[in-house]
Amino acid sequence: MTLIRIKDALAGKVAVGTTVTIQGWIRSRRDSKAGLSFVQVHDGTCFDPLQVVAPGELSNYQDEVTRLTTGCSVSCTGTLVESQGKGQAYEVQADEVKVIGWVEDPEPIPFSPSATPWNTCARSPTCVRAPTPSAPSPV
């Protein structure tokens, strides 16, 4: 298994069929009636997430995968394949989804899978606007 950056996977720099590991944070999770979950993972190397398909046969599926929320950190290992779904070129068919860290109280996180408007972020105590060279520091 090779630890890869999501940016490289989405750019086609990683060969399809390769066993890979990605590490990052959950942007969203959708559960299917077919007994699997679609987990959007981002690692900060690009804006777009990489979809991880987590089958219900994973040993931690019921206890952990179905409880993942936005912001949880994970390490996912599986095979990089061409995606059959719309909206992404590649996805990871997971053999393992390891939870690194949980979000203790996911309710106050004001972010959604889509772009969050600045006024929403500005009202959140978890966001701090970075000072720009032309603006004085807020501290």
Q: What is the pLDDT of residue 4?
A: 95
Alpha-carbon gap, residue 69 to 78, rounded angstroms? 20
> For the purposes of burial, counting CB atoms within 10 Å of the CB of 3, is it exposed (0-12), middle (13-18) or buried (19 or more)?
exposed
* Between 121 and 16, the higher pLDDT residue: 16
Residue pLDDT, tens place only, 71-94 = 999 999 999 999 988 888 999 999
Residue pLDDT, tens place only, 1-10 = 689 999 999 9
Q: Does the predicted model carry a pTM greater than 0.75?
A: yes
The domains located in the chain, with CATH, are 2-106 (2.40.50.140)
